[in-house]
Structures are given as C-alpha cells and as structure tokens.
Amino acid sequence: MEVFFQGLQPGVKENRLTDYLASIFAEFNIAPNEFICEKKKKSSRNATAVILDPQKAERFLAQYGQRKAALNLNGPFACERSRFEVEEYKLRSLRKRFEDATKNQTPEKDQPDDKTFWANWIACGVWRYDKEIPSFHCQYVSDKPAKILFGKKDLVFYFPVEALSERGNRVIIEYSTIQSMASCVQHSTFLTFTLDRAPRFYDPEPTSMDISNRLARLSIKREDPKRSRVSAIDVQHARFAESCLVYQIDLIPQHLPKVKKLLKKHEHLPEMTNRHFHIEFPFIKFDTEMKEIRDRLSGSNLPFAIIFQLQRLAQSSFLPPKVIGCLIEPMLCLEKDIGMESVVNRLQQLARHLPIASPDEESKFFDFTYTINYLTSEFDKAEEAALSTFELARRYSHMVVVHRARVTPAGIYLHGPYAEGKNGVLEKYSKFALEHFLRVSFEDENGEQLKWEPGVDLNHIHHDRFKGVLNNGIDIAGRRFEFLGFSHSSLRESSCWFLAPFKFEGYQMYSKDLIAQLGDFSRIRSPAKCGARIGQAFTDLNDNVHIPQTAVVVVPDIERNGRCFSDGCSTASLEVFEKLWKHMRPGVFKPTTFQIRYGGVKGLISLDYSLKGLVMNIRPSQLKFPSMADMLGICGAAKRTLPMYLNRPMINVLEDLGITTATFMKFQDAAVKDLRTMTESVINAATFAENNDIGKTMSFSWLLRELHHLGIPALEDRFLWSAIELIVILRVRDIKYKARILIKPESGVTLYGIMDETDTLRSGEVYCTINEGNVVTGNVTVTRSPSMHPGDVQPAVAVDVPEGHPLKFLHNVIVFSQRGERDLPSMLSGGDLDGDIFNVIFDPLLQPDFYVQPADYARPEPINLGRPVESRDISNFFIDFMSNDQLGHIASKHLQTADQKPMGTRDSDCVLLAEMHSTAVDFSKTGIPVNMTQAPRLPSKCKPDFMASGPRILIEGGVTTLKGNQEPGFYVKDEHDVLMEMDGIRTTPLFYESDNALGHLYRKIDEYQLLKELEDVRKNANPKSPSALTQLWTYVKQRSQGWQWGHLIPWAQGVKKQYNDHIAELMYQHALDPHRPLTELEVFLGIVMGKDGGVPNRRAREIANSMRDHFNEAAHYTMDYILQGDEEDEVEESLERSLACFEAALDEDNDEEVDKKIGKLQSFGYLAATICLRQVQRSALDR
C-alpha cells in the first residue's frame, strides 16, 4: 500500500523523513526493510511511503490518517491513503529487500552515536626529518573551523559557509588512501593523516554549465548541481594540493576520545600511533622548492629521461626536493659510468623501493646518503641492461619506450618510462619517442575516468582544469609538451599524445608540423572528423612493413541503392602478403586477412592470388585523407577463429526473438561446468589453460601436464592452485554479472568480415571459413555486439564453393555477398568491413524463430566549422567528448527499460534508445552529442537484480575471498551514510527479481557456494606437502648429476631480480589505480580484476589484453636469455643456466620484497622450472 504525506516543512530530506517514519512505524511492527519512503524533489512538501504489509499500513492510517497534527517533523504534516496503485517494480523491490534482509540477518555492531565532530583548523603539508625525529612541515592552514564527518567509505572535512549551513567546501578522503595515522605527543588534539593520493575537493558554488550539459542533465532527471568539483580548497591550497598529501586536524578536545575510538574500530584503517614529532612552518614553501628544482634540472646536462625521474621523485613526494638537488651532480657522474638506461632503471626501482614518508618510517630512507648508496651499489651492468625496458623495446620492433603523465583534478603525476606498442607516428619518429613524446591521460585521482556524481558539477574540472592543460601544455623541467592527437580508443579512455618540439631533418618539428607530415587534412571542416582521421596514425600497431606507393592501385567501391557493399575492405597480392608474413614469428599460422593502416588508408585487405607482383588494391571507402606514407601498419590479423560470447544486450534481443530462458540456461550451465571441471584434475586445468591461451609463452599447460606425469600433485601447490581458483572465480563472475557466456566453437564463433570479391555469393548468402579451412554450411544467424535493436540479428545461408575457387584460400573470415538491396554488415548495428568483427551462430538452438527489419538510421552530418580545423578545435572536442559522452548511460537505460517493458527490446522506447545509442557511438566521428532530452522516461527507478554490482575479490596470501559490496566499516548494515544524509541522497538502489532470461541466469549462479567448494578442495590438500617446484627440483637434480652450475648462481640471481623488476613494472603500468598495483597472479594469468576487486568492465579487459602481450614478450625474452645467455656465452651451457635459474628461484633466503605493496614474487620459479625440465629431458635424449 502507498501512503501519501503532505504539508512537510521545506527542506526536509528524504533520509531524515525515512528515519522519522521508521520510529513511528515501529509502533505498528513495520520494520525499516518493510517500507520505502520517497520525495520526488528535495524542495517538495509532499512525499510517499510504500508499505509492504497492507494490514499494517491500514492500522497506521487508522491512527494517524485522520489526525492532521499527529505527525510532526520540524512542523506538523498529514497523511492519507494514496489515490494511486503501488508501482509493480517498487513493490517487487521492497519484497526482495525484505526477504534478503530476513535471510541474511547479522548481529548489529556496537557503534558510536555520533560520527560528526569539529576541528579548529585543517592543515596540509609534508613529512620531513630532523635528526631522525619526524617533522610535519605545514604548507597550508585553513582560516576557519571545519566539521569532520566519518562516512561509510570516506573521511570528510567540511567548511560551512555559515553556521548550520549545508553549503561549504569539502575535502573527501577515501579511507583506503590513508596509509598512516598519528597523534602528536606534545599536542594531543592534533591528528595527522598521511595519504597516498590527493583527496577530492568541492566548492559550494556550481560553475555555469554550457547548454549541452544542461540538456543532458535535464533529460536524465538530474537536478541542478549543488556544488562543483574543484582542484583544491582555495587558491592558496592549490599551490600544494598536488604534492602535499599529509593532512592534520586540530580536534576540539572533548571530541578526541570519541574520534580515536571510532578510528580504532574501522577495519580498513591503519593503527593510530602516538608519536613525538615537530610541527614547523617553513619560510620556503614546497612550491618554491619545486620551482628551484625544475630550474636546476632544466639547466643541467643530464639526459631528459634522468631529469624526468628526478622531477617525478620530488613532485610525487618520494624524496624531498633538497635531496633531489643534491643528486644532480652525482647523477652526471653515474650516467657517464653506467649509462643513461641503467640510471633510469635504478631511479625507477628506487621509487618502488621507498616507503611513503610518515612518523612510522625510518628517516634514513629519505636522506641523501641512503639514496646515493642505493643508486651506486654494485651490480652487474650486463645483467641489469639485459632484461630492462629499453632492451625489451630494442628486441621487439613493434615496441618503443615512452613516458606517461596523469592529469587529475588536483595535479599532474609522472610515470614510466614503459615499453608500449608503436603506432604510425612513433614508428616514423621512434628515436625521439623517449624524450619528446608523452602519453597523457585525464582521470580522477583513483585512476578512473571522471564520473558523474549526484548533485555535482564537473564543469570546472573539464573546462578549466583539463582544458587548461590541453591548451597550455605540460612543463617537465623546462621542456614543454603540447597536445598532439589521439586514437579512437584513447578518446574513449580520455587519453592522448603530447609532443615536445625536436629537430628533424634540419627543421624544428612542432605538433602542427608533425600533423602536416601525416597527410593533408586541410579539406576537413569537422573537429571530430579531423581528430578521428589524424587518430589513424595513433592506432597501436603490431608491426610495420614497407610497401611502396607504386604498389597501390585504386579500385572502385561496390555501391548500390546508396549503400557501399565494400565499405572498408579490399585485396592484395601474394607478394604483399609474403612481406607481411615475414614479420611474424616462425611457426605461426599465416593469416589471409589483415587489418591495416597505410597513411590515410584504413581497413582490411585479404589475399587475392589472381593479383600478380606487388599489388595492393585500395578503395575510396578506405582512403580517409591523402598521404604519401609508404609504411603499412598491421593492427590486427585473422590468425584464428575468435571465441564467441553471449552478453546481456544480445540475450535480451534473442529472447525477444523467441529464444527461451531454458536454452540460455543450457549454454550457461555448460560454461560453468567447464570451469568446474578445471579444478577436478590437472589435465582438465591444463586443457583449459591451453584453449584460453593462459600462460602460453611460458608453456603453462605443458608444465601442468608434465607435473602430472611425474606424479607431482600440482593442485596442491599454493601458487598454481591460487591461479586456477582465481580464473574460475573471475570467469564465473563474468557470467553472473555480465552474462558473458562462452559459446563452444561448434555452436558459434567471432570472425572478421570481408566482401566477396568474386561476386559468387547470392543475396543472403555468406561464406564462413574457420580453423584453417573448415567451411560452415547451412542456416546461420549473424550479429554484432552490442546488439541493441531487435533487427541487429539477421539470418544468412552459409554455402561452400568448389575446390580451387579464390574463396577457398581464405581462412577465419566471414565473406558477405555484394548482391542484394542492402549489404548485410550495415544491418548489424551499423557495421562495416574496415575491421569489424561479427558473431556467427551455427547452433539451431540459438537461432531465432523469427526476425525483424533492421534499423536504418540516417547518418548525421558532422559539425562544419566552415574553415580548416586547428589543433585547438580538436583539443576542445576532446573535452566536449569527455564531458558529454552518454554511451554507458544509454546502454544501462536500454537494459533496464527492456526488462520492464512487455515487448522488451521491440518496445518503441527501446527502439528509440537503440537509435540514441547509435548516435552516441557516432559522436566520436561527428562531434554531435546525443540529444538526451529525447530519452524516454524509465518505467521504474527500481532496477532488475542482474544490474546489481557484485562482491569484491580480495587476494591475501594466495587465498581468494569475496567481500560484500557494501563494506560496513564502523557502520551497521543499511545505516545511512552521514555524508549522503547531509545531501539527502538515497544510498541503496532498489532491486527486484527479474522474470526475464537475464534474471534467471543471474540467480542460478551462487559465487559464494562455488568459492566454498574451492576452499574445501584446498583444505583437503596435504598442508605439509612440499611445493610442486620443490618436488620438481628433486627430480631434475637427480637427472643432472655430473653437471656443474654453481658458478652461474650469481648470474641467475641477477636474471631473477630483473625478471621480478619487470613484472613489478607491469603490475604498476597496467593497474586501474596507479597507487594499487595489480597482483602477480593477474599479470601471470593475463587478467585484470575490476576496481577494488569488482567485476571487470570493458576498460579492464582492454588493459588485460595489452598487459598479456607485454607479459608474453617479457617472458619470451627472459626464456631466450636463459637459453642463449650473453653473446659470449656458449649455447651448450643452456642446461647449466636453466639449473642455476631454477635453484635461484627456490632460494628464499635471498628473496627481497619488490616493495611493500607488492611483496615477494613467485612466478619466476615456474618459468625457470619449465625451461629447466625441458632442458633436462633434451639432455636425457641426447645421451
């Protein structure tokens, strides 16, 4: 039943009304989980409450409904039975919440009544040391008292504009960023918090928004913002917000005991220590020290890569600027002695090695003597260089070493250098990459893209802070980097390239000059389109091959009815393909289709044996701008059939086309069963690893099988079992929370699409070739992800062709007909043939009963400036895209609407949202943001259960655990967050049990039960059993008698250290949060968990793909180095070197922590074991 309340006092918030009603409802045995209170607007004087039990609601109304003054919250208000029926989904959500609460009842924690306190002032500074005594060097002090609030996840400093005001500056510190807490012996009310990243800052006055922002906010029912995200507390604090991450408060004395008790109770905070430390107010402030250091570094003769590291160490407060100043001269000498690359490696290792300065750390880590001793300690130059980032890039022609910078609301942070994949620009100017190119990402302090927050205006950050950096550049020790460009993928990730001028072929090369070298963009009038065309040169490439312009032949597109059937694809001769194949590793399958970039040309080329000589056909649809480039970049290849996954949008569409829930359940059960069998035997685990390319370079599956054959129980090995356990949990969570269900190859695959150049296929026919020549025949269903419109799924007939036919020479592609009224790819979410991949379903169970007409959206014309596009126009579009990209929001709204409409995706609201999604996809090319005022209202604010976020994964000591998404800290379950309470925001979204396929699939999987089963397997293992590596070492030693390798142990220790350093670098380089490195298991397995152990999103999967490539290259190189040694080493000593590395891996006494966040690494042992076992087996055969 719904109860209507009227006459509320203005400004009464929903949370406060909920608390008041809970106290009244308690008289009628109505628990907090049995009702939902809602106010449409904060300013409204009306509200409603839905009560689950109608009889209890009637009893409440019988007592309070007729007495107009019976209810009083800052003034009397009245209630009556609502005239409207209760919304179905709200009632279902309430019922689910009540049932969940009843099922999962937990004893409430003791808690302090108050979580709001007062401080006389707040200060910001850094730690320094005076004769081993810590000293807080205060850089900034607030000039007014602050309210201290302890929220669920954040500590908040709040400066009210006036007494009792809810408006004021805010400083929000995530508990997870607090690395140390200390109280002062001399001043007991002084509490000091040391952070590892800057807080978030808010101003009470929202900035003025542009019209597109206002339209977007209006359409998605967001009220005007109440405050603005800013870069610092005020102008003075802005001088220090970037680098000074120690915050001190002076509590009102009577609040001290309660606050200390509260901090002690929180399970995720470090222990509060009581320390003797000084408090100083230095005359020379930190920003002045940094300016002096930048000037000194700029005037030094050090190589830029070393200057970059020294500025980073000072700017990020690893070391005091004074110590950095003392290092300049010694670094000049060290660079002459050991070379620039080794010095850079050492400085990077130093940054990882240093703890965060705090009263709990020894002062020696932050003085000049310790630093110079660390940097100049003895080491083997050859070994240090052999496995470095620089050497890795030299070995692999498609890699280059570049620096990175992160621009956040609070500051600019330097990272790297890292080995990254080349693009067309870096290929041409590779020798300038290290010193003159900078990869820049614009993100929040935690490494995520800046996201919308309730009631918060981001205009200042987007249009002042970020745009200011894009327009003014980044200064690193006097070298100014300016905006250059971005690729299509980096635009969506809010990252781009900056350039510092350099001299090339006698000319000074600035950004505009480099762009002019790429091609002729003068005829383009749209900033978005121009940015996209320039962005072709920034697409990551696997390799580059020289193809002269004389090989290019322009051939016409196949067009009919205003449609381009050949959009993005063409052919090339065998001679061209042979040049491409030469750049692939020996033994790798030779693809017959490549995705390429060739100056202004982009798209696919497929092999055509009829072309003679060196010939590459190019179509007008592939040529995006004129260019004289003669290097062909490879950015993809049809090396094999790609796996097909069902996903939530696809399941929604297929269900609305007649596929039953039972069918989806069958495929989900099969996928989960495959994962479960992985834990049942080593052979199953090895097969799964092999089929999914897990540890392929290290021959992980081979090692598992060999351990099994030797009778060594691999599943009892802690590291190996942890790896298997994590894979299973992550894959199952992908299935549960994303409906990402792997389809077996006999049921469906994913393939590149090209056009039938021979004009053999009739309309509606396709030629589908998989697994090196196997041809699919019969009825198939073709789609493309994401499929939002019900017409994004279409039928086709797969046919074969006679032996000797040109199509027979193609592999791992789907070939579309050039006949018919409309090309099939354009019917599938607006696809084309320039590199799109298509899902091809063979299994009749997944083929719909009927199909609907595909969408046919009019392509919007890009914004036209009426003049040539300038760099400033493109950088402005970069910011506009960042602030107006609604793609994710539309997709979520579509998912929710489809679940709540009887017609699902076929409903007119969903069809409209699908069209808006298409417009949002094209925003990156047209510059036209989607008009969100057209978005239909959601049927209900309540969400289906499958849209809920899952628990977090924690890995501690090799043990995987799940933690609830709403961590209680010192809050009891369902208690209001004081910060959200202040803003009047509901903290918990409402979910109902969906009756559609996605709901049933979601509820079928119990990840906690699965983890319990895995824990039971682990507990049944023999705890006293030696590790698999120890048992294997016993085996190889017995079979290596007579061989001598003791003299190689020091060399092997060096190899191990360099491998570990490289793994550590990958753990930081690919982390979602730069302050939270990945685990070694994630790097080893080539997977990235979501933020804070959540479900991985698209960005996490893309990062995982990049990291997997980098790890494979590092592992491959390390294995080659162990087998081949240095140039002067004998190849015949490969067995001895592998034995030495295996023994070094097992020598735990000499193991060192890489740093405190990473600890000790283990994967080197499994790499060394694999090589050693193979060498021992070969040696036995040779004997």
Please return the burial class of 373, using the count of CB atoms within 10 Å of its CB with bins 0-12, 13-18 and 19+: exposed
529-538 per-position pLDDT tens digit: 999 999 999 9
Provide the CATH topology of domain 743-846: Barwin-like endoglucanases (2.40.40)
Which percentage of the chain shows pLDDT scores above 70? 91
Say what the pLDDT of residue 973 is.
Answer: 47
What is the per-residue pLDDT across 233-286, written as a single tens digit (0 to 9) for each?
999 999 999 999 999 999 988 888 888 888 887 777 898 898 889 999 999 999
The pLDDT tens digits for 596-607 are 999 999 999 999
Q: Could you give the count of Cα atoms lying within 13 Å of 871 in the half-sphere of its Cβ? A: 19
Per residue in 1119-1171, pLDDT tens? 988 988 765 555 568 889 999 999 999 987 766 766 777 888 999 999 999 99
Please compute, for residue 777, the number of CA atoms within 13 A of its CA located in the half-sphere on the CB side.
6
Label residue 368 by pLDDT band (50, 70, 90): very high
123-127, 197-201, 858-862: which has the minimum mean pLDDT? 858-862
Taking alpha carbons only, the member of 42, 39, 5 closest to residue 24 is 5
Give the three-class secondary structure for 622.
coil
Closest CA to 458 of 36, 884, 1040: 884
The pLDDT value recorded for residue 771 is 79
* Average pLDDT taken over every residue of the chain: 88
Tell me which of 531 and 1106 has the higher pLDDT: 531
- The predicted model gives 84-98 an average pLDDT of 90
Of the candidate ranges 162-171, 578-587, 683-692, 1120-1129, the one whose mean pLDDT is the lowest: 162-171
> Two tokens at 814?
């789907």
**Least confident span in 65-69, 184-188, 564-568:** 65-69
CA distance 269 to 658: 52
Work out the number of other CB atoms within 10 angstroms of the CB of residue 529: 23
> Are residues 1155 and 1064 in contact, defined by beta-carbon separation less than 8 angstroms?
yes
Q: State yes or no: cis peptide before 939, omega within 30 of 0.
A: no
Cα separation, 945 vs 923, in Å, equals: 31
Q: Radius of gyration over alpha carbons of the chain, in Å?
A: 31
What is the distance between the alpha carbons of residues 1022 and 217, in angstroms, rounded to a whole number? 59
Residue 827 pLDDT grade (very low, low, confident, very high; cuts 50, 70, 90):
very high
Considering only residues 718 and 378, tell me which one the structure prediction assigns the higher pLDDT: 718
How far is 1022 from 62, CA to CA, in rounded Å? 66
Enter the CATH code of domain 2-86.
3.30.70.330
In this structure, what are the phi and psi dihedrals at residue 571, rounded to the nearest 5 degrees? -135, 165
- What whole-number distance in Å separates Cα of residue 14 and Cα of residue 47? 8
Residue 1002: band (very low, low, confident or very high) from pLDDT cuts 50, 70, 90 = very high
Query: Mean of the pLDDT values across residues 939-948?
Result: 92
Provide DSSP, 547-581: --GGGEEE----EETTEETTTTEEEE-HHHHHHHH
Q: How many CB atoms lie within 10 A of CB 97?
A: 21
Contact call for residues 983 and 454 (beta carbons, < 8 A): yes
Tell me: pLDDT of 214 over 80: no
Distance CA 703, CA 719 (A): 13
Average pLDDT over every residue of 603-627: 95
Residue 164 confidence (pLDDT) above 60: no
Residue 396, pLDDT score? 82
Say how far apart CA 415 and CA 309 lie, in whole Å. 8
* Total H helices, total E strands in the chain: 39, 48
Q: In this model, does residue 1000 exceed pLDDT 90? A: yes
pLDDT of residue 265: 79
Would the pLDDT of 458 be above 70? Answer: yes
The answer to whether the CB of 683 falls within 8 A of the CB of 690 is: no
User: Would you say residue 415 has pLDDT above 90?
Assistant: yes
Give the pLDDT confidence score for residue 743 in this predicted structure.
95
How far apart are the C-alpha atoms of 304 and 299, rounded to whole Å?
A: 11
List pLDDT tens digits, range 561-577.
999 999 999 999 999 99
Please give the average per-residue pLDDT across 587-604, as a whole number: 92
φ, ψ (nearest 5 deg) of residue 922: -80, -10
Q: pLDDT per residue over 957-996, tens digit each?
A: 666 666 665 443 554 444 556 666 666 665 567 899 999 9
pLDDT reading at 108 higher than 60:
no
- CA–CA distance from 811 to each of 235, 644, 690, 773 (Å)? 62, 17, 21, 6
Residue 439 pLDDT greater than 60, yes or no: yes
Model pTM?
Answer: 0.91
3-state secondary structure of 247: strand
Q: What is the dihedral of CA 1087, 1091, 1094, 1095, to 10 degrees?
A: -50
The pLDDT of residue 1086? 87
Which burial class, exposed, middle or buried, applies to 521 when counting CB atoms under 10 A from its CB (0-12, 13-18, 19+)? buried
The Cα-based distances of 184 to 121, 251, 355, 453 in angstroms read 15, 12, 21, 36
**Residue 876 in this model has a pLDDT that exceeds 90:** yes
For the chain, percent of residues with pLDDT exceeding 90: 62
Q: Residue 273 carries which side chain, given as an amino acid letter?
A: T
Q: Is 952 helix (H, G, I), strand (E, B) or coil?
A: strand
CA distance 871 to 27: 67
Task: Fill in the DSSP letter of residue 599.
Answer: T
Q: In which band, very low, low, confident or very high, does the pLDDT at 217 lie, cut at 50, 70 and 90? A: very low
For residue 1021, the tally of other CB atoms under 10 A from its CB is: 14
Tell me the average pLDDT across 511-535: 94
pLDDT of residue 680: 85
Contacts of 14 (CB under 8 A, 6+ apart): 37, 38, 39, 42, 47, 984, 986
Whether pLDDT at 956 is above 90: no
Which of 443, 441, 383 is CA-nearest to residue 409?
A: 443
The H or E element containing residue 1180 is helix 1163-1182
**pLDDT of 210 above 60:** no
d(CA 161, CA 156): 16
Q: What is the DSSP letter of 183?
A: E
Q: What is the pLDDT of residues 322-345, one digit of tens each?
A: 999 999 999 999 999 999 999 999
User: What's residue 984's pLDDT?
Assistant: 61
Q: How far is CA 739 from CA 96, 664, 731, in A?
A: 21, 10, 10
- What per-residue confidence (pLDDT) applies to 967? 41
The arithmetic mean of pLDDT across residues 894-915, rounded, is 96
With 90 as the cut, is the pLDDT of residue 811 above it?
yes
Q: What is residue 968's predicted lDDT score, i.e. its pLDDT?
A: 38
Given a cut of 80, is residue 104 above it in pLDDT? Answer: no
Give the pLDDT of residue 1137: 92
Pairing of strands 495-499, 437-442: antiparallel
- Tokens, residue 102: 């009843």
- Encode pLDDT of 1061-1102 as tens digits: 889 989 998 888 888 889 999 999 888 887 766 677 778 888
CB atoms within 10 A of CB 1014: 19
For residue 162, what pLDDT is reported? 64
Top-ranked range on mean pLDDT: pick from 1-15, 390-404, 665-679: 665-679
Q: Give the pLDDT mean for 842-861.
A: 93
Query: Cβ contacts of residue 167 below 8 Å, gap of 6+?
Result: 160, 161, 204, 226, 227
- pLDDT beyond 90 at 1173: yes
Q: What is the model's pLDDT at position 218?
A: 45
pLDDT for res 132: 86
Least confident of 25-39, 635-649, 1006-1020: 1006-1020
Looking up tokens 């994710």 gives 888
Place of tokens 């390798």: 1045
